[in-house]
Chains A and B, each alone.
Chain A
């Protein structure tokens, strides 16, 4: 779990990690080199402006001369235009690299997600995955592109200023630059501390958001419990913590610039104090003194940037590590190497579980030496409590998981001897909670068979009696149903997901029946649709509704991974066993509810 707690702060430099990122930066090598060169030039030109002022002072101002002013103005204008072009291209190239990297990292992560097995999704919270492909990818892209900008620029500026100062006057340069070591030290310490504190503020901020969310959703429960005061007290502590951390980092953050500015003006004072006598002694031109004064002020900016970027790079290691962990995760289920997929037979529908054992967590077996043979065309209802193994049987049949021992055979062949694509493109699967995707109703039904014509899509909808409600939507089949189908009711989503399965026309059909409450009319429609779907196919149902159970060829009552009772409805009822008990209780419950819905 601790792996998912956010924002562990790594202080060590991890070269291996950055090497792992190299394959992502490779396509941008040319851009990165170009960016570096541009930044060198920007640094050089930024350095040249105080120098131009020096030239102006020494050539035109002090001697009161206009000689050569045209040339000077041309130089100034040239530097100005060059700077314009360079700034434009630096932003353009850095943006190009940044967005390219973010795009590639996301795509690589997504591509891998599509290959990963269910066990990965079981172990990893959805929010964690989402954060890797959103905030972590963004942070890495930013740090690599803009980090280079600031680093190269900062280094170029510092180097250029140092060179210029030493060329102008080595002694004065040495005196002036004595403020540099404390400046660098202060910057690194400040920036590192600030980044850590900002992170703390962010974490406390998200706690406050969570508290708001919980406060609103839980307000009704709080009310009936008389819990308002307690909640407010707890929230007050959270809001107070956030405020304290924010004020602390504001205090520290506000301190940085004044400290650095003071150090810079100390540099100016040093330059003037030692420079003025030199000018009077004729050892230094007035323009040079002016240049020294401006360079000391110009120096702190690159130092600050360098310190910041170094801190950010270190923090980005956490992002890099987690993102790479996702991109490099190995799917547990893979097609057997060298599998011939060119000539795959159709699926007939004979299913056999042979001595199948399985556990999600080692030491807690769900199935042990499970045996089951299902003939083509049979419909099987799986009945039992949570944890009895119903879903596991379906998961193994879909090869979402593989047995720890034993075999799952379809048409006499071990599922591991076929490709996943062969199996999945031939089975239909309808979930308890219908899962739809952003797009139109038509798109969602067509998901079952991408090559289907419009007429076929509409026919599928008609078969599950979904046409009526679809036509009542504003744009019929072309209505946009929102993210995850959020604009449809649960019952409507179920009908669409059934139509999707009908269109796929699978030989093997799996249904995790819904327990969610829909109105009686919709329930009847769903019922009819399911019956139509089951006809003539091998099917497995995790059944909650009595009528589907009754209609099944075989009902398997499961308990702790074993088949307790096996037979059709009348056989099991006649046995007066566990099924009989369950059925009578449920029957009464449902009828009582129905009576109250009238």
Chain B
């Protein structure tokens, strides 16, 4: 997926290489300027540069080369970072798209915090690797690979004196940054605990105050605060030792070159200009090496990040498919189950279901916790696989695309998620170009219009962290309105009226029935008042359909439904009679 960025990336790295070569030339020119007796004596420039034959030329070229090197430096820096940003954007988009398409089961158990971390900080680690660290590594290596041979070509005897401490600095730097990881971790963990205590005290301030434990908490926070300061100072001390030592090594290396140079000059073996040039080029070698250890350590981290990102992209997704597989069909909402079963992880969730809900009927599902009600309605929205046949207006659900199916079957969740947008925008989510009237109409049907206009900002009220927090009942009514913005022949309420009171529940059902083409409605509820008005009541137990009928029929049979109906009688007996 990132192949298309390869040419630009390679070009940027090549620019860096060219920059390295150009920036090594000015010291060479300086040597000639110095050794020529500042223009008096003969020029000693090697082959490719032999055309530079006067001091004015040399100075002009020095500036030009530096300028060229700076320009290439810019191009490579910008190029690699641009590629890294583009690739990061693609990766983020791909991750987000993948997460949107995950199967229902995956989403059910999604560890949000961990996934967000993978999609943000791990992607960021990779972005930094591509944009900064890898180019830095290439650059430092190229510098060594170019400058060292150059030094050996120019003056092999002196060149030997530039290398002895370079590997020492490299190894020391790598070992240090590798080691210091542990101290970093300790400091990070301590900081994590510190934020934890802080967070607990902010959310738990009532408890702290009610037990008058302010001093106790001050001490607890203080102890961790002290500990964090201690471990972090220890970490910083490690860096103090590192930079102190590595500076000595670098300066020592330069000193060795200088001393050898003085000796060589006195022996008449090399010129003054050569020594000055060696000093400059050795400096260019030794300083970047000090950072190399950090870069190498970061490479290891990037590998881990890449694995973590790939794990997300490997999770199973679903295919949404075409908008319309059966164009022109006028869906009515007749549902038929033929021998439908669901097995998950070796357990039977639903078994051998056979029933029909006619178009326009209201069906109620009743059953104890874990009897399979929610799984059943999820099948209708194409959210999980099943055995057997489910027909919508005579067509097997599997033959419809998910996109098509879900625009016919609206499932209202018990705990809907509302987005950090205005309440109006939340209601209009399912519509591509929602009209204000449609939103108000949907909210009115869901009996929430008055509630919304009661907010100071009305439909423009922002929800979420920076806005208003809605109560459970308000959230459910918003979710119902979301589904009502577009007419759908089948509407399912998965206990999604549980947080509104009986009165509002009845009002919402009345307004649903008042719609022009009211469609098929399936309700899951524990409220007898809700169940009693359904055209057909289906009673599930242990994944099987055990009873089916109207209120009058079921109230006359022994079973769960009758037991619930009797509760009401018991209540009436207790206080009304």
Contact = CB atoms under 8 A, between A and B. Distances in A.
A118 B564 CA distance: 45
A56 B199 contact: no
B216 A265 contact: no
Contact of A225 (B429, B502, B563): B429
Interface in A396-430: 398, 400, 420-421, 424-425, 427-429
Contact of A84 (B82, B247, B429, B564): B247
Interface string B348-373: 00000000000000000011110000
Contacts of A193: none
Contact of A69 (B206, B236, B262): B262
Interface stretch (A19-27, A181-189, A271-279, A465-473): A271-279
Contacts of B101: 228
Interface in A188-245: 205, 208-228, 230-232, 235-236, 239-240, 242-243
Contact of A215 (B26, B96, B263, B430): B96
Given A134-B198, A424-B211, A595 B104 contact: no
Contacts, number: 396
A214 B202 CA distance: 24
Interface stretch (B141-149, B162-170, B302-310, B409-417): B409-417
A87 B240 contact: yes
Nearest to A419: B212
B575 interface: yes
A210 B78 contact: no
Nearest to A267: B63
A212 B211 contact: no
A447 B213 contact: yes
B88 interface: yes
A285 to B, nearest CB: 12
Interface in B196-221: 196-218, 221
Interface residues of A, number: 147
A77 interface: yes
Contacts of B56: 273
B301 interface: no
A273 B96 contact: no
Contacts of B330: none
Given A218-B419, A450-B216, A126 B225 contact: no
Contacts of B208: 114
A286 B34 contact: yes
Contact of A87 (B60, B200, B244, B279): B244
A18 interface: no
B250 to A, nearest CB: 9
B527 A103 contact: no
B212 A420 contact: yes
A72 to B, nearest CB: 8
A448 B56 CA distance: 86
Nearest to B115: A216
Contact of B89 (A92, A240, A484): A240
Contacts of A220: 104, 107-108, 413, 417
A418 to B, nearest CB: 12
Helix, strand, loop or mixed for chain A's interface?
helix
Given A66-B262, A221-B416, A230-B432, A293 B30 contact: yes
A113 B107 CA distance: 38
B225 to A, nearest CB: 6
Interface string A90-111: 1110111011101100110011
B86 interface: yes
A92 B528 contact: no
A588 B59 contact: no
A64 B268 CA distance: 8
Contacts of B527: 589, 592
A587 B571 contact: yes
A338 to B, nearest CB: 20
A213 B116 contact: yes
A129 B514 CA distance: 50
A483 interface: yes
B544 interface: no
The number of chain B residues touching the other chain, given as a range, is 35 or more
Contacts of B429: 222, 225, 227, 230
B179 interface: no
A111 B218 contact: yes
A584 B67 CA distance: 87
B244 A596 contact: no
A421 B221 contact: no
Contacts of B108: 220
B381 interface: yes
Contact of A235 (B96, B197, B222): B96
Given A279-B38, A484-B200, A259 B93 contact: no
A591 interface: yes
Contacts of B218: 110-111, 114
Contacts of B214: 114-115
A593 interface: yes
Given A60-B265, A280-B39, A429 B240 contact: no
A129 B571 CA distance: 50
Contacts of A235: 92-93, 96
A511 B247 CA distance: 65
A265 B200 contact: no
B102 interface: yes
A167 B247 CA distance: 28
Interface stretch (A156-164, A249-257, A344-352, A524-532): A249-257
Contacts of B205: 113, 118, 121
Contacts of B226: 103
B217 A421 contact: no
A580 interface: yes
Given A254-B74, A592-B567, A130 B198 contact: yes
A330 B257 CA distance: 65
Contact of B195 (A130, A209, A211, A294): A130
Given A130-B202, A232-B93, A261 B66 contact: yes
A69 B568 CA distance: 109
B471 A386 contact: yes
A91 B383 contact: no
Given A99-B229, A212-B116, A61 B275 contact: yes
15 contacts: A60-B262, A64-B265, A80-B248, A80-B255, A92-B240, A98-B236, A114-B215, A115-B214, A221-B418, A230-B429, A294-B280, A429-B211, A447-B213, A588-B568, A591-B571
Interface of A: 1, 49, 53, 56-57, 60-62, 64-66, 69, 73, 76-77, 79-81, 83-85, 87-92, 94-96, 98-100, 102-103, 106-107, 110-111, 113-115, 118, 121, 125-127, 129-130, 133-134, 205, 208-228, 230-232, 235-236, 239-240, 242-243, 246-247, 250-251, 253-255, 257-259, 261-262, 264-266, 268-269, 272-273, 276, 279-280, 286, 289-290, 293-294, 386, 398, 400, 420-421, 424-425, 427-429, 431, 435-438, 447-448, 450, 483-484, 497, 500, 504, 510, 573, 580, 584-585, 587-589, 591-593, 595-598
Interface of B: 26, 30, 33-34, 37-40, 55-56, 59-60, 62-63, 66-67, 69-71, 73-74, 77-78, 81-82, 85-86, 88-89, 92-93, 95-97, 99-102, 104, 107-108, 110, 112, 115-116, 119-120, 124, 131, 191, 193-218, 221-222, 225-226, 228-229, 232-233, 236-237, 239-241, 243-245, 247-248, 251-252, 255, 258-259, 261-263, 265-266, 268, 272, 275-276, 279-280, 320, 366-369, 381, 383, 403, 406-407, 410-413, 416-420, 429-430, 432, 465-466, 471, 479, 482-483, 501-502, 526-528, 560, 563-564, 567-568, 571, 575
Given A225-B483, A424-B209, 17 more contacts: A73-B259, A81-B248, A88-B240, A91-B243, A99-B236, A113-B205, A118-B206, A130-B202, A209-B119, A220-B104, A220-B107, A225-B406, A227-B430, A261-B73, A264-B66, A272-B62, A597-B368
| A-B pairs with lowest CB-CB distance, top 3 | A95-B236, A254-B77, A265-B66
